[in-house]
Structure 1
Amino acid sequence: MKKLDMLKESIDEILDEYNFWYDEAHRSYSEIEALEAKYDKAVERNKELSKALGEMTWKQMRHQAKIKKMGRKWLARN
């Protein structure tokens, strides 16, 4: 009987640990989904603000910076 009790205890410990990590993973996944939703809302809001203000998006600004950098390199060569 002693071995059977030890086996039951170890199974219970493993089950408790499994349930703990399962709950942690599920909670983390829910948090990630919530953060993704916030990010999507922020991106949409940024697009709307950029259109409303007539400003360049960060991609457009990065593209302009690359063009300026290429122009400086070209001027430095000539």
Structure 2
Amino acid sequence: MRSASDYPKGGAPISVCPVCKHEAFNDEKRELVMHEEMWRGQPIFLLRTTLYVIVTEALAEKIQKAGATNVDFAPV
């Protein structure tokens, strides 16, 4: 997965490792909520700062029509 949303409210990194680029976050301030303004236009992407995969409704419908059995969709 190469695409990600913008940072959630309070989720901008407080530090970034200069070697591995790992980002550290303030978990107390970070909101794990996807807002429309965070979307960058991709049909599939990660909710930045998490491992949640987000897909558009149109892509979810195509995946369901293809008969995929290794995926579950939960509305957000």
* TM bracket (short chain): under 0.3
Q: Quick check: which one's helix share is greater?
A: 1
TM-score (norm: length of structure 2): 0.19
Q: Quick check: which one's strand share is greater?
A: 2
TM-score (norm: length of structure 1): 0.19
Structure with higher RCO (Cα < 8 A, 6+ apart):
2
